Structure 1
Amino acid sequence: MERIAYMLGDSRAVLTVTSAEIAEELPAGRGRVLVLDDVFTAMRLSMAATVAPARQVHGGQAAYVIYTSGSTGRPKGVVVTQAALANYVGSVPGRLGMDGGRYALVQGQATDLGNTIVFAGLTLGGRVHVVAEEVATDPEALRVVLEEGRVDFVKMVPSHLAAMGPGVLPARSLVLGGEAAAPGWLEQVLGQAGERGCAVFNHYGPTETTIGVATTRLTEAGVIPVGTPVANTAFYVLDEHL
């Protein structure tokens, strides 16, 4: 609750969208609260227009603010602009073998790791499966969801996928991100993915650079590259003097 209170105050949020299960636990006096599964809210939504409102969006406007973990102190709000997000959506999914298909989101939205799946799926005419938390941590349940849902694309942290055991793979493209992969483990994954015809990609980038700014297809273990820059991005390799 302390972290949520800090983020609401620091971001100067004017509206909190939540569910009845969580609403009572939220800090009081932090602006308006909209409970989506409230009966009154559902009634108002059913009467609302179904046409998208006409809005003028500029590249310099904020698309969202996402907070770091705070491991080096207080959490820091990273402002991602509309232009940065548009550049990501326009250049990255194609580099990750993604097009219109079925996507599975297997992590919560407290971090931006899953935004690759969310934005690629919704802008490329795909279908996004939001996997429940209890399923995302159950190897057999997750395998069933991926197979029965004929999921094409998944993005996961290597340690999460490793905990799921062998065989938990999408049909077409697996994207690894968020941390480094162990070469020995990656060799096993590449072997399993090769048998299924599933491509494996490394996608790297801190939150401040909009989800990820480097990517490459992985074909062998060993020294694992972060990849080459995405469109409109430059890399600088710094020495000990920065």
Structure 2
Amino acid sequence: MSVHTTLTATGAGPRTGPEPVTGKRLYDWFADSAATYGDTRTALEADGRELSYRALETLAGHLAAALVARHGGRPARVGLLASRTVLAYAGYLAVARLGATVVPLNPAFPIARSADVARTAGLDLVIADAALPGLDGLPVPVLRCDARQPAAPAEPPARGRTAPDDLAYILFTSGSTGRPKGVPVTQANVAAYLGHVIQRYGTGPGDRVSQTFDLTFDPSVYDMFSAWGTGATLVVPTREELLAPVRFVNRARITHWNSVPSVAALAQRLRALRPGSMPTLRWSLFCGEALKLPQARAWRAAAPHSTVENIYGPTEMTVTWTEYRLPPEEEDWPATANGTVPIGVPYPGQEHLILDEAGRPADDGELCVRGSQRFPGYLDPADDTGRFRAPLPPYAVHDGTGPLTPAHWYRTGDRVRRADGVLVHLGRLDHQVKIHGYRVELGEIESLLLRQRDVTDAVVLPVPGRRGEPVLHAVCAGPPRDPEELLGALRLRLPAYMVPAAVTFTGALPLNANGKVDRAVLLASLTQPQAA
């Protein structure tokens, strides 16, 4: 067991000192910078607008007042249905200012899914871009705001008081039961996380931080508050700019980049990563899926003044939880068996175990974690069953009958190997996959397929697409039917990245000797790469 790991990624130097400790709450990181920089620094560039720290603080205050008026008092949990506009970011701060829990909702997802999340999360109301369709389909009151002029002037309410165990935000991930699974993250979790990463990446006044992630994707928390916690500027690209990252970096003079590796892969495919083409970058962080060494090599050549770091962490461990900094000299880079950059070592003060299938400590197995960044347990306690292990040997799997404590180990479901003092990610142990950086539980898609007419059984498998990226392919037992009819039904309930690219119909799914569906046989039968 590694309690306070002392080994670090090559070139990063030894760890010294205890885990950073801070009593700050989520809104404090922004408020302190607003008090310091006021009108002298730009806090946000989004949707063609620039707001100083004072202007963004004022707007967040007006929105907070509007939320209180709409609810008839301070709400406890507020949904945020907006994307890449000033409203989205001012709304996030408004909820945090009230001391309420923010629950991001994605406007690109079907409204039925947002309604499911609103019910599951117990939202008091939703703040939404008034231009979005389908808002009447939400089961809670909606504060409709103009994304260009989000709120009329109003006296801002006093900042809400929060305790360390109060929830800062709730994110919803794909769930195996056919419903989204709520991951609550506390103020103390966020404080432990930001206390480390803000110091590590050294943002400050004059720096410009990219915001490539949707607010429903937790790396957005790093982008927002590493900028706002230090007087830097958060710069939000449009959807079109995300397809041309090099052009965006140069247009916006980005100094701190953070994205999924697939963005780098896209730029590489478009031959945009020319040597020296991103001279402003000082830091390049990648997370959300495996970073391949060729991607890192091409990106580093394009950003020669940038330090490239691979970071990893499940949502349940508050954004990211390990770090690996690629050495300055390429000849010192690691050579891993699967061609990926190691995920490195845990942040200071965090703990991890690697357990084999029998629950014994090993150098190759499931990564189990705990520490100040570990979430308190799923929103629905039933989801905790099987997802944790006991604090002490023999590390029994948590069956839900006893209390869940901070000492329990969270089972990431990720297989890792310890090599040369760092961790190498080897893939998922269960049926979750990463599609475009989003974590997808295949069981959720399969559950919805089984609800469709004449489908008696269903399996969803990741297969190689035309460019080698994982693409979902559904195999359904039942009489043949129009695939578009079936996929259309899924599009009403699932975000686009969870809808399979193709469907195959069969009389019955193959079974192995144990009577289980033989996924290996099915995968072997899907020999043709599917279109992305």
What interval of TM-score do these two structures reach, taking the shorter chain for normalisation?
Answer: 0.7 to 0.9
Aligned partner of 1:217 in structure 2 is 325
One-letter amino acid matched to 1:25:
G
Alignment pair present for 1:118 and 2:224: yes
Greater helix content: 1
Post-superposition offset of 1:155: 0.7
After superposition, the Cα gap between the structure-2 partners of 1:41 and 1:178, relative to the gap in structure 1 and judged at 3 Å, is closer
Structure 1 spans left out of the alignment, 5+ residues = none
Aligned partner of 1:130 in structure 2 is 236
Provide the rounded CA distance (Å) in 2 between the counterparts of 1:48 and 1:218.
Answer: 49
Provide the rounded CA distance (Å) in 2 between the counterparts of 1:2 and 1:126.
Answer: 37
Q: TM-score, normalised by structure 1?
A: 0.86
CA contact (8 A) 2:261 2:290 kept: yes
Aligned partner of 2:129 in structure 1 is 19
Provide the rounded CA distance (Å) in 1 between the counterparts of 2:121 and 2:220.
Answer: 21
Provide the rounded CA distance (Å) in 1 between the counterparts of 2:215 and 2:196.
Answer: 22
Aligned partner of 2:301 in structure 1 is 191
The 3-state SS of whatever aligns with 2:135 is coil
Alignment pair present for 1:182 and 2:299: no
Aligned partner of 1:63 in structure 2 is 168
Provide the rounded CA distance (Å) in 1 between the counterparts of 2:300 and 2:281.
Answer: 13
Aligned partner of 1:232 in structure 2 is 349
Provide the rounded CA distance (Å) in 1 between the counterparts of 2:135 and 2:334.
Answer: 46
Percent identity (aligned): 28
Provide the rounded CA distance (Å) in 2 between the counterparts of 1:99 and 1:192.
Answer: 21
How big is the alpha-carbon RMSD for the aligned residues of Structure 1 and Structure 2? 2.3
Aligned partner of 1:107 in structure 2 is 213
CA contact (8 A) 1:98 1:153 kept: no
1:152-182 alpha-carbon deviations (Å, 9 max, x no partner):
1111111122102315755110001001122
Provide the rounded CA distance (Å) in 1 between the counterparts of 2:307 and 2:120.
Answer: 41
After superposition, the Cα gap between the structure-2 partners of 1:39 and 1:234, relative to the gap in structure 1 and judged at 3 Å, is closer
Provide the rounded CA distance (Å) in 2 between the counterparts of 1:214 and 1:41.
Answer: 37
Post-superposition offset of 1:72: 6.5
One-letter amino acid matched to 2:155:
A
After superposition, the Cα gap between the structure-2 partners of 1:200 and 1:21, relative to the gap in structure 1 and judged at 3 Å, is same
CA contact (8 A) 2:118 2:138 kept: no
Post-superposition offset of 1:41: 6.4
Provide the rounded CA distance (Å) in 2 between the counterparts of 1:154 and 1:185.
Answer: 15
Aligned partner of 1:87 in structure 2 is 192
Provide the rounded CA distance (Å) in 1 between the counterparts of 2:147 and 2:255.
Answer: 34
Provide the rounded CA distance (Å) in 1 between the counterparts of 2:283 and 2:177.
Answer: 34
Post-superposition offset of 1:225: 1.6
Post-superposition offset of 1:30: 1.9
One-letter amino acid matched to 1:159:
S
Provide the rounded CA distance (Å) in 2 between the counterparts of 1:98 and 1:105.
Answer: 17
The 3-state SS of whatever aligns with 2:323 is strand
The 3-state SS of whatever aligns with 2:335 is coil
Q: TM-score, normalised by structure 2?
A: 0.41
Provide the rounded CA distance (Å) in 2 between the counterparts of 1:192 and 1:143.
Answer: 9
1:121-163 alpha-carbon deviations (Å, 9 max, x no partner):
11111110111112112x1xx4333223221111111112210
One-letter amino acid matched to 1:238:
L
One-letter amino acid matched to 1:158:
P
1:17-69 alpha-carbon deviations (Å, 9 max, x no partner):
111221x41353522211121899633xx1333xx723221110000000003
Post-superposition offset of 1:221: 5.0
Aligned partner of 2:140 in structure 1 is 31
After superposition, the Cα gap between the structure-2 partners of 1:40 and 1:113, relative to the gap in structure 1 and judged at 3 Å, is closer
Alignment pair present for 1:203 and 2:311: yes
Provide the rounded CA distance (Å) in 2 between the counterparts of 1:233 and 1:62.
Answer: 20
1:77-131 alpha-carbon deviations (Å, 9 max, x no partner):
1000000001111012333x23212101012112112221112111111110111
CA contact (8 A) 1:5 1:27 kept: no
Q: How many residues align?
A: 231
One-letter amino acid matched to 2:203:
D
Provide the rounded CA distance (Å) in 1 between the counterparts of 2:227 and 2:298.
Answer: 28
CA contact (8 A) 1:175 1:201 kept: yes
Alignment pair present for 1:157 and 2:254: no
The 3-state SS of whatever aligns with 1:21 is coil
After superposition, the Cα gap between the structure-2 partners of 1:177 and 1:29, relative to the gap in structure 1 and judged at 3 Å, is closer
Provide the rounded CA distance (Å) in 2 between the counterparts of 1:187 and 1:126.
Answer: 28
Aligned partner of 2:154 in structure 1 is 47
After superposition, the Cα gap between the structure-2 partners of 1:56 and 1:109, relative to the gap in structure 1 and judged at 3 Å, is same
Provide the rounded CA distance (Å) in 1 between the counterparts of 2:293 and 2:230.
Answer: 32
Q: 1:8 aligns with which of 100, 111, 118?
A: 118
CA contact (8 A) 2:314 2:320 kept: yes
Structure 2 spans left out of the alignment, 5+ residues = 1-110, 328-332, 360-532
